[in-house]
Structure 1
Amino acid sequence: MTTAARRGILAVATLLVLLSLGAVFAVVVPEPDLRRWVGVLEQASFDPVTAPERAERDAAMAWVARVLLALAAAWLVIGMLAARTRLVRRPGAAAARSTWLSSTRPWRARESTLGMLPLDRRLTFGVPAALLVGTSVVQASFLALTELVVTLLAWGVFAVSLRLLAWGRSPWPVFAAAGGALVGRCVVVLSAMSVAGPGGFWSTVWADPVSRTVYVAVVFALFVWVFVAAGWALATQLKRPPRGTVTR
Protein backbone atom coordinates (compact mmCIF):
# COMPACT_ATOMS: atom_id res chain seq x y z
CA MET A 1 0.00 0.00 0.00
CA THR A 2 1.38 3.39 -0.98
CA THR A 3 1.96 6.23 1.45
CA ALA A 4 -0.77 8.31 -0.22
CA ALA A 5 -3.27 5.47 0.17
CA ARG A 6 -2.42 5.05 3.86
CA ARG A 7 -2.83 8.76 4.44
CA GLY A 8 -6.15 8.76 2.61
CA ILE A 9 -7.44 5.90 4.74
CA LEU A 10 -6.26 7.69 7.88
CA ALA A 11 -8.07 10.88 6.81
CA VAL A 12 -11.33 9.02 6.10
CA ALA A 13 -11.08 7.12 9.37
CA THR A 14 -10.48 10.38 11.23
CA LEU A 15 -13.58 11.95 9.71
CA LEU A 16 -15.69 8.91 10.59
CA VAL A 17 -14.45 9.06 14.18
CA LEU A 18 -15.25 12.78 14.32
CA LEU A 19 -18.75 12.16 12.97
CA SER A 20 -19.31 9.49 15.63
CA LEU A 21 -18.05 11.81 18.36
CA GLY A 22 -20.31 14.54 16.98
CA ALA A 23 -23.34 12.26 17.19
CA VAL A 24 -22.48 11.40 20.81
CA PHE A 25 -21.94 15.11 21.48
CA ALA A 26 -25.42 15.88 20.11
CA VAL A 27 -27.06 13.26 22.32
CA VAL A 28 -25.13 13.83 25.56
CA VAL A 29 -24.90 17.63 25.70
CA PRO A 30 -28.07 19.36 26.99
CA GLU A 31 -30.03 21.19 24.29
CA PRO A 32 -29.49 24.71 25.73
CA ASP A 33 -25.74 24.15 25.59
CA LEU A 34 -26.04 22.76 22.08
CA ARG A 35 -27.90 25.90 21.03
CA ARG A 36 -25.10 28.10 22.29
CA TRP A 37 -22.44 25.93 20.67
CA VAL A 38 -24.16 25.86 17.29
CA GLY A 39 -24.07 29.65 17.32
CA VAL A 40 -27.54 30.36 16.02
CA LEU A 41 -29.74 32.83 17.83
CA GLU A 42 -32.23 31.22 20.15
CA GLN A 43 -35.92 31.98 19.97
CA ALA A 44 -35.62 34.34 22.94
CA SER A 45 -33.17 36.49 21.04
CA PHE A 46 -35.99 37.51 18.72
CA ASP A 47 -38.36 38.63 21.49
CA PRO A 48 -37.97 42.36 20.78
CA VAL A 49 -38.86 41.71 17.14
CA THR A 50 -42.52 41.53 16.16
CA ALA A 51 -43.79 38.53 14.20
CA PRO A 52 -44.02 40.31 10.81
CA GLU A 53 -40.58 41.88 11.23
CA ARG A 54 -39.12 38.54 12.24
CA ALA A 55 -40.67 36.76 9.25
CA GLU A 56 -39.32 39.46 6.94
CA ARG A 57 -35.87 39.24 8.51
CA ASP A 58 -35.83 35.44 8.24
CA ALA A 59 -36.84 35.61 4.58
CA ALA A 60 -34.07 38.11 3.85
CA MET A 61 -31.47 36.06 5.70
CA ALA A 62 -32.59 32.90 3.90
CA TRP A 63 -31.94 34.58 0.55
CA VAL A 64 -28.56 35.86 1.71
CA ALA A 65 -27.72 32.31 2.82
CA ARG A 66 -28.72 30.94 -0.61
CA VAL A 67 -26.54 33.44 -2.42
CA LEU A 68 -23.57 32.69 -0.17
CA LEU A 69 -24.22 28.96 -0.51
CA ALA A 70 -24.19 29.23 -4.31
CA LEU A 71 -20.89 31.15 -4.22
CA ALA A 72 -19.33 28.68 -1.78
CA ALA A 73 -20.50 25.72 -3.85
CA ALA A 74 -19.05 27.33 -6.98
CA TRP A 75 -15.74 27.78 -5.16
CA LEU A 76 -15.70 24.09 -4.21
CA VAL A 77 -16.64 22.93 -7.71
CA ILE A 78 -13.91 25.10 -9.26
CA GLY A 79 -11.45 23.64 -6.77
CA MET A 80 -12.44 20.10 -7.69
CA LEU A 81 -12.29 20.65 -11.46
CA ALA A 82 -9.49 23.20 -11.82
CA ALA A 83 -6.68 20.68 -12.18
CA ARG A 84 -8.49 18.76 -14.93
CA THR A 85 -9.79 21.68 -17.00
CA ARG A 86 -8.67 25.02 -18.38
CA LEU A 87 -10.16 26.67 -15.30
CA VAL A 88 -6.76 26.39 -13.64
CA ARG A 89 -5.57 29.27 -15.85
CA ARG A 90 -8.29 31.60 -14.59
CA PRO A 91 -7.57 34.07 -11.78
CA GLY A 92 -8.51 32.51 -8.47
CA ALA A 93 -8.84 28.96 -9.80
CA ALA A 94 -5.47 27.96 -8.37
CA ALA A 95 -6.56 29.26 -4.96
CA ALA A 96 -9.81 27.27 -5.13
CA ARG A 97 -7.89 24.15 -6.11
CA SER A 98 -5.41 24.70 -3.29
CA THR A 99 -8.07 25.08 -0.60
CA TRP A 100 -9.94 22.00 -1.84
CA LEU A 101 -6.83 19.82 -2.13
CA SER A 102 -5.32 21.04 1.15
CA SER A 103 -8.49 20.54 3.17
CA THR A 104 -9.23 17.05 1.84
CA ARG A 105 -5.59 15.92 1.64
CA PRO A 106 -3.69 18.19 4.03
CA TRP A 107 -0.45 16.27 3.52
CA ARG A 108 -0.45 17.80 0.00
CA ALA A 109 -1.00 21.36 1.21
CA ARG A 110 2.51 22.54 0.41
CA GLU A 111 2.38 20.97 -3.04
CA SER A 112 -0.93 22.67 -3.78
CA THR A 113 0.46 26.15 -3.09
CA LEU A 114 3.68 25.90 -5.10
CA GLY A 115 3.93 28.45 -7.89
CA MET A 116 0.79 30.33 -6.94
CA LEU A 117 0.52 33.98 -7.84
CA PRO A 118 0.23 36.58 -5.04
CA LEU A 119 -3.48 37.07 -5.87
CA ASP A 120 -4.20 33.36 -5.47
CA ARG A 121 -2.32 33.24 -2.17
CA ARG A 122 -4.42 36.07 -0.80
CA LEU A 123 -7.59 34.37 -1.99
CA THR A 124 -6.72 31.16 -0.12
CA PHE A 125 -7.10 33.24 3.03
CA GLY A 126 -9.53 35.93 1.89
CA VAL A 127 -12.32 33.78 0.44
CA PRO A 128 -12.75 31.53 3.52
CA ALA A 129 -12.50 34.59 5.79
CA ALA A 130 -15.18 36.46 3.80
CA LEU A 131 -17.40 33.38 3.77
CA LEU A 132 -16.99 33.02 7.53
CA VAL A 133 -18.05 36.64 8.04
CA GLY A 134 -21.06 36.20 5.76
CA THR A 135 -22.12 32.97 7.44
CA SER A 136 -21.79 34.50 10.90
CA VAL A 137 -23.87 37.50 9.83
CA VAL A 138 -26.62 35.21 8.53
CA GLN A 139 -26.62 33.20 11.74
CA ALA A 140 -26.82 36.35 13.86
CA SER A 141 -29.39 38.05 11.61
CA PHE A 142 -27.65 41.33 12.52
CA LEU A 143 -29.21 40.98 15.99
CA ALA A 144 -26.32 39.64 18.06
CA LEU A 145 -23.38 41.77 17.00
CA THR A 146 -21.46 41.19 20.22
CA GLU A 147 -21.48 37.42 19.73
CA LEU A 148 -20.60 37.97 16.08
CA VAL A 149 -17.54 40.06 16.96
CA VAL A 150 -16.41 37.52 19.58
CA THR A 151 -16.71 34.68 17.05
CA LEU A 152 -14.74 36.52 14.40
CA LEU A 153 -12.07 37.56 16.90
CA ALA A 154 -11.68 33.93 18.00
CA TRP A 155 -11.10 32.82 14.41
CA GLY A 156 -8.72 35.76 13.95
CA VAL A 157 -6.66 34.63 16.94
CA PHE A 158 -6.57 31.15 15.43
CA ALA A 159 -5.24 32.52 12.12
CA VAL A 160 -2.56 34.58 13.90
CA SER A 161 -1.56 31.52 15.94
CA LEU A 162 -1.12 29.48 12.77
CA ARG A 163 1.06 32.21 11.30
CA LEU A 164 3.25 32.29 14.40
CA LEU A 165 3.52 28.51 14.57
CA ALA A 166 4.74 28.40 10.96
CA TRP A 167 7.78 30.34 12.21
CA GLY A 168 9.84 31.36 9.20
CA ARG A 169 8.13 28.92 6.86
CA SER A 170 5.43 29.77 4.37
CA PRO A 171 2.02 29.95 6.13
CA TRP A 172 0.01 29.60 2.92
CA PRO A 173 -0.25 25.78 2.94
CA VAL A 174 -1.60 25.95 6.48
CA PHE A 175 -4.02 28.75 5.60
CA ALA A 176 -5.18 26.79 2.55
CA ALA A 177 -5.87 23.66 4.61
CA ALA A 178 -7.70 25.49 7.39
CA GLY A 179 -9.54 27.76 4.94
CA GLY A 180 -10.75 24.90 2.78
CA ALA A 181 -12.07 23.01 5.79
CA LEU A 182 -13.76 26.18 7.00
CA VAL A 183 -15.48 26.58 3.63
CA GLY A 184 -16.90 23.07 3.99
CA ARG A 185 -18.28 23.88 7.43
CA CYS A 186 -19.81 27.12 6.17
CA VAL A 187 -21.52 25.23 3.33
CA VAL A 188 -23.27 22.96 5.83
CA VAL A 189 -24.36 25.88 8.03
CA LEU A 190 -25.58 27.92 5.06
CA SER A 191 -27.51 24.92 3.75
CA ALA A 192 -29.45 24.80 7.02
CA MET A 193 -29.95 28.58 7.11
CA SER A 194 -31.14 28.70 3.50
CA VAL A 195 -34.23 26.63 4.33
CA ALA A 196 -36.13 29.40 6.10
CA GLY A 197 -33.58 31.68 7.73
CA PRO A 198 -32.21 31.45 11.29
CA GLY A 199 -35.70 31.59 12.83
CA GLY A 200 -37.05 28.88 10.57
CA PHE A 201 -34.00 26.76 11.33
CA TRP A 202 -35.39 26.03 14.80
CA SER A 203 -38.78 24.92 13.51
CA THR A 204 -37.37 22.70 10.74
CA VAL A 205 -33.87 21.31 11.19
CA TRP A 206 -33.56 21.75 14.95
CA ALA A 207 -37.06 20.67 15.97
CA ASP A 208 -36.60 17.11 14.71
CA PRO A 209 -34.26 15.05 16.94
CA VAL A 210 -32.86 13.05 14.00
CA SER A 211 -32.06 16.03 11.78
CA ARG A 212 -30.69 17.91 14.82
CA THR A 213 -28.33 15.03 15.66
CA VAL A 214 -27.16 14.71 12.06
CA TYR A 215 -26.63 18.46 11.77
CA VAL A 216 -24.66 18.73 15.02
CA ALA A 217 -22.58 15.66 14.16
CA VAL A 218 -21.59 17.04 10.74
CA VAL A 219 -20.90 20.57 12.01
CA PHE A 220 -18.90 19.18 14.94
CA ALA A 221 -16.83 16.93 12.66
CA LEU A 222 -16.07 19.73 10.21
CA PHE A 223 -15.28 22.15 13.04
CA VAL A 224 -12.67 19.79 14.48
CA TRP A 225 -11.41 18.95 10.98
CA VAL A 226 -10.42 22.60 10.53
CA PHE A 227 -7.86 22.12 13.32
CA VAL A 228 -6.87 18.64 12.16
CA ALA A 229 -6.23 19.80 8.58
CA ALA A 230 -4.34 22.88 9.76
CA GLY A 231 -2.23 20.81 12.17
CA TRP A 232 -1.50 18.19 9.53
CA ALA A 233 -0.41 20.82 7.00
CA LEU A 234 1.62 22.63 9.67
CA ALA A 235 3.40 19.44 10.70
CA THR A 236 4.37 18.88 7.06
CA GLN A 237 5.69 22.42 6.82
CA LEU A 238 7.70 22.15 10.03
CA LYS A 239 9.60 19.20 8.61
CA ARG A 240 11.16 21.58 6.12
CA PRO A 241 13.96 24.03 7.06
CA PRO A 242 12.95 27.70 7.54
CA ARG A 243 13.23 30.00 4.55
CA GLY A 244 16.72 31.33 4.07
CA THR A 245 18.34 28.33 5.76
CA VAL A 246 21.24 26.84 3.85
CA THR A 247 21.31 23.06 3.96
CA ARG A 248 24.34 20.94 3.21
Structure 2
Amino acid sequence: MEPFSPYPELTERMTSLWERAMRIAARFALAFGLAAVSAIAVAIAVADNLFGQIFLVLFTTLALWIPYVLVLTMFDQWRARPRRVKASEAVVTVSAKPDVSAFERDWQRLVALAPQQGERLAAIKSSIDRSRASLGDAALDPDAHDLCVLIDRRLPELVAHELHDLPPDDHGRRKQVDGLIDLVEQFARHCGRQREGASGERSREAEILRRRFEARLAEHSPEL
Protein backbone atom coordinates (compact mmCIF):
# COMPACT_ATOMS: atom_id res chain seq x y z
CA MET A 1 0.00 0.00 0.00
CA GLU A 2 1.32 3.47 -0.89
CA PRO A 3 1.98 5.78 2.06
CA PHE A 4 -0.77 8.28 2.64
CA SER A 5 0.25 11.91 2.37
CA PRO A 6 -1.89 14.44 4.28
CA TYR A 7 -0.89 17.11 1.75
CA PRO A 8 -0.94 15.49 -1.70
CA GLU A 9 -1.10 18.77 -3.60
CA LEU A 10 1.87 20.18 -1.66
CA THR A 11 3.89 17.02 -2.30
CA GLU A 12 3.18 17.10 -6.03
CA ARG A 13 4.04 20.78 -6.17
CA MET A 14 7.34 20.26 -4.36
CA THR A 15 8.20 17.39 -6.70
CA SER A 16 7.39 19.53 -9.72
CA LEU A 17 9.53 22.40 -8.39
CA TRP A 18 12.42 20.03 -7.71
CA GLU A 19 12.30 18.59 -11.22
CA ARG A 20 12.17 22.08 -12.70
CA ALA A 21 15.13 23.19 -10.59
CA MET A 22 17.14 20.18 -11.75
CA ARG A 23 16.37 20.97 -15.39
CA ILE A 24 17.47 24.58 -14.92
CA ALA A 25 20.65 23.51 -13.11
CA ALA A 26 21.50 21.07 -15.90
CA ARG A 27 20.91 23.80 -18.46
CA PHE A 28 23.22 26.22 -16.62
CA ALA A 29 25.92 23.53 -16.30
CA LEU A 30 25.77 22.68 -19.99
CA ALA A 31 25.86 26.37 -20.89
CA PHE A 32 28.91 26.89 -18.66
CA GLY A 33 30.71 24.00 -20.33
CA LEU A 34 29.97 25.35 -23.81
CA ALA A 35 31.05 28.83 -22.76
CA ALA A 36 34.31 27.49 -21.31
CA VAL A 37 35.13 25.51 -24.45
CA SER A 38 34.43 28.56 -26.62
CA ALA A 39 36.50 30.77 -24.32
CA ILE A 40 39.47 28.40 -24.47
CA ALA A 41 39.30 28.36 -28.26
CA VAL A 42 39.16 32.16 -28.38
CA ALA A 43 42.03 32.51 -25.89
CA ILE A 44 44.29 30.17 -27.83
CA ALA A 45 43.55 32.01 -31.05
CA VAL A 46 43.95 35.55 -29.67
CA ALA A 47 46.35 35.62 -26.66
CA ASP A 48 50.05 34.80 -26.83
CA ASN A 49 51.06 34.54 -23.15
CA LEU A 50 49.65 32.33 -20.42
CA PHE A 51 48.40 35.18 -18.21
CA GLY A 52 46.49 36.73 -21.07
CA GLN A 53 44.98 33.38 -22.02
CA ILE A 54 43.78 32.72 -18.46
CA PHE A 55 42.26 36.18 -18.15
CA LEU A 56 40.61 35.87 -21.55
CA VAL A 57 39.20 32.43 -20.71
CA LEU A 58 37.64 33.70 -17.48
CA PHE A 59 36.23 36.85 -19.05
CA THR A 60 34.89 35.11 -22.17
CA THR A 61 33.38 32.27 -20.14
CA LEU A 62 31.42 34.69 -17.95
CA ALA A 63 30.42 36.76 -20.98
CA LEU A 64 29.13 33.76 -22.95
CA TRP A 65 27.53 31.86 -20.07
CA ILE A 66 24.17 33.66 -19.95
CA PRO A 67 23.79 33.89 -23.76
CA TYR A 68 24.36 30.14 -23.98
CA VAL A 69 21.71 29.61 -21.29
CA LEU A 70 19.25 31.65 -23.33
CA VAL A 71 20.11 29.73 -26.51
CA LEU A 72 19.61 26.37 -24.77
CA THR A 73 16.31 27.56 -23.29
CA MET A 74 15.05 28.64 -26.70
CA PHE A 75 16.21 25.33 -28.19
CA ASP A 76 14.34 23.32 -25.54
CA GLN A 77 11.19 25.36 -26.15
CA TRP A 78 11.48 24.85 -29.90
CA ARG A 79 12.05 21.11 -29.45
CA ALA A 80 8.99 20.78 -27.20
CA ARG A 81 6.70 22.84 -29.46
CA PRO A 82 6.00 20.15 -32.13
CA ARG A 83 4.94 17.68 -29.43
CA ARG A 84 2.45 20.16 -28.02
CA VAL A 85 1.02 20.90 -31.47
CA LYS A 86 0.62 17.22 -32.26
CA ALA A 87 -1.01 16.60 -28.90
CA SER A 88 -3.54 19.38 -29.50
CA GLU A 89 -4.33 18.00 -32.95
CA ALA A 90 -4.85 14.56 -31.45
CA VAL A 91 -7.28 15.98 -28.89
CA VAL A 92 -9.27 17.74 -31.63
CA THR A 93 -9.33 14.57 -33.73
CA VAL A 94 -10.53 12.37 -30.90
CA SER A 95 -13.12 14.87 -29.69
CA ALA A 96 -14.50 15.21 -33.23
CA LYS A 97 -15.33 11.52 -33.34
CA PRO A 98 -18.66 10.43 -31.89
CA ASP A 99 -18.62 8.77 -28.48
CA VAL A 100 -19.21 5.29 -29.82
CA SER A 101 -18.15 3.56 -26.61
CA ALA A 102 -20.83 5.29 -24.53
CA PHE A 103 -23.58 4.22 -26.95
CA GLU A 104 -22.21 0.69 -27.05
CA ARG A 105 -22.27 0.54 -23.25
CA ASP A 106 -25.85 1.80 -23.17
CA TRP A 107 -26.84 -0.73 -25.84
CA GLN A 108 -25.26 -3.58 -23.88
CA ARG A 109 -27.19 -2.42 -20.83
CA LEU A 110 -30.39 -2.46 -22.88
CA VAL A 111 -29.60 -6.02 -23.95
CA ALA A 112 -29.01 -6.97 -20.31
CA LEU A 113 -32.38 -5.48 -19.32
CA ALA A 114 -34.17 -7.52 -22.01
CA PRO A 115 -32.19 -10.77 -22.34
CA GLN A 116 -35.16 -12.59 -23.88
CA GLN A 117 -34.98 -10.11 -26.80
CA GLY A 118 -31.25 -10.46 -27.37
CA GLU A 119 -31.56 -11.77 -30.93
CA ARG A 120 -34.07 -9.08 -31.81
CA LEU A 121 -31.80 -6.36 -30.46
CA ALA A 122 -28.78 -7.81 -32.28
CA ALA A 123 -30.72 -7.71 -35.55
CA ILE A 124 -31.81 -4.12 -34.87
CA LYS A 125 -28.26 -3.02 -34.11
CA SER A 126 -26.87 -4.77 -37.17
CA SER A 127 -29.50 -3.15 -39.39
CA ILE A 128 -28.78 0.31 -38.00
CA ASP A 129 -25.02 -0.13 -38.48
CA ARG A 130 -25.50 -1.21 -42.10
CA SER A 131 -27.85 1.70 -42.73
CA ARG A 132 -25.37 4.18 -41.23
CA ALA A 133 -22.55 2.88 -43.42
CA SER A 134 -24.73 3.02 -46.54
CA LEU A 135 -26.41 6.35 -45.84
CA GLY A 136 -23.10 7.98 -45.01
CA ASP A 137 -22.06 7.61 -48.65
CA ALA A 138 -25.13 9.50 -49.85
CA ALA A 139 -23.88 12.88 -48.69
CA LEU A 140 -26.02 14.86 -51.17
CA ASP A 141 -29.31 13.23 -50.12
CA PRO A 142 -30.98 15.44 -47.46
CA ASP A 143 -33.11 12.55 -46.17
CA ALA A 144 -30.02 10.38 -45.76
CA HIS A 145 -28.26 13.23 -43.95
CA ASP A 146 -31.16 13.65 -41.54
CA LEU A 147 -31.16 9.94 -40.77
CA CYS A 148 -27.41 10.01 -40.15
CA VAL A 149 -27.95 12.80 -37.62
CA LEU A 150 -30.64 10.74 -35.91
CA ILE A 151 -28.38 7.68 -35.81
CA ASP A 152 -25.27 9.50 -34.62
CA ARG A 153 -26.82 11.89 -32.12
CA ARG A 154 -30.47 11.52 -31.30
CA LEU A 155 -30.57 7.73 -31.06
CA PRO A 156 -27.70 7.55 -28.51
CA GLU A 157 -29.29 10.39 -26.54
CA LEU A 158 -32.66 8.64 -26.55
CA VAL A 159 -31.25 5.32 -25.35
CA ALA A 160 -29.14 7.03 -22.66
CA HIS A 161 -32.06 9.07 -21.33
CA GLU A 162 -34.47 6.14 -21.37
CA LEU A 163 -32.08 3.90 -19.45
CA HIS A 164 -31.23 6.64 -16.98
CA ASP A 165 -34.87 7.36 -16.08
CA LEU A 166 -36.17 3.82 -15.71
CA PRO A 167 -39.13 3.39 -13.33
CA PRO A 168 -38.30 1.76 -9.99
CA ASP A 169 -40.88 -1.05 -10.33
CA ASP A 170 -40.37 -4.10 -12.55
CA HIS A 171 -43.60 -3.63 -14.49
CA GLY A 172 -42.89 0.01 -15.33
CA ARG A 173 -39.28 -0.77 -16.20
CA ARG A 174 -40.29 -3.62 -18.51
CA LYS A 175 -42.94 -1.47 -20.18
CA GLN A 176 -40.52 1.38 -20.84
CA VAL A 177 -37.82 -0.94 -22.18
CA ASP A 178 -40.33 -2.66 -24.50
CA GLY A 179 -41.54 0.70 -25.78
CA LEU A 180 -37.97 1.81 -26.42
CA ILE A 181 -37.17 -1.38 -28.32
CA ASP A 182 -40.33 -1.03 -30.44
CA LEU A 183 -39.45 2.56 -31.33
CA VAL A 184 -35.86 1.73 -32.20
CA GLU A 185 -37.02 -1.23 -34.29
CA GLN A 186 -39.39 0.99 -36.28
CA PHE A 187 -36.53 3.41 -36.80
CA ALA A 188 -34.23 0.60 -37.96
CA ARG A 189 -36.87 -0.56 -40.46
CA HIS A 190 -37.27 2.94 -41.83
CA CYS A 191 -33.49 3.28 -42.18
CA GLY A 192 -33.43 -0.06 -43.98
CA ARG A 193 -36.06 1.08 -46.46
CA GLN A 194 -34.14 4.29 -47.02
CA ARG A 195 -30.96 2.28 -47.51
CA GLU A 196 -32.62 0.07 -50.10
CA GLY A 197 -34.08 3.07 -51.93
CA ALA A 198 -37.70 2.11 -51.40
CA SER A 199 -40.17 4.72 -52.62
CA GLY A 200 -43.13 5.99 -50.69
CA GLU A 201 -43.76 8.50 -47.94
CA ARG A 202 -40.22 8.38 -46.63
CA SER A 203 -40.01 12.04 -45.65
CA ARG A 204 -43.32 11.90 -43.77
CA GLU A 205 -42.32 8.75 -41.92
CA ALA A 206 -38.93 10.22 -41.05
CA GLU A 207 -40.63 13.32 -39.64
CA ILE A 208 -42.99 11.16 -37.56
CA LEU A 209 -40.05 9.18 -36.15
CA ARG A 210 -38.13 12.37 -35.44
CA ARG A 211 -41.10 13.79 -33.54
CA ARG A 212 -41.43 10.58 -31.56
CA PHE A 213 -37.74 10.78 -30.69
CA GLU A 214 -38.13 14.36 -29.54
CA ALA A 215 -41.26 13.54 -27.56
CA ARG A 216 -39.53 10.70 -25.74
CA LEU A 217 -36.53 12.90 -25.00
CA ALA A 218 -38.77 15.70 -23.74
CA GLU A 219 -40.20 13.35 -21.10
CA HIS A 220 -36.80 13.19 -19.40
CA SER A 221 -34.74 15.82 -17.68
CA PRO A 222 -32.10 17.48 -19.88
CA GLU A 223 -29.28 16.49 -17.57
CA LEU A 224 -28.26 12.92 -16.96
**Shorter-normalised TM range:** 0.3 to 0.5
TM-score under structure 1 normalisation?
0.30
TM-score under structure 2 normalisation?
0.33
Q: Whose Rg is larger?
A: 2
Flag the structure with more relative contact order, 1 or 2, with Cα contacts below 8 A and sequence separation at least 6: 1
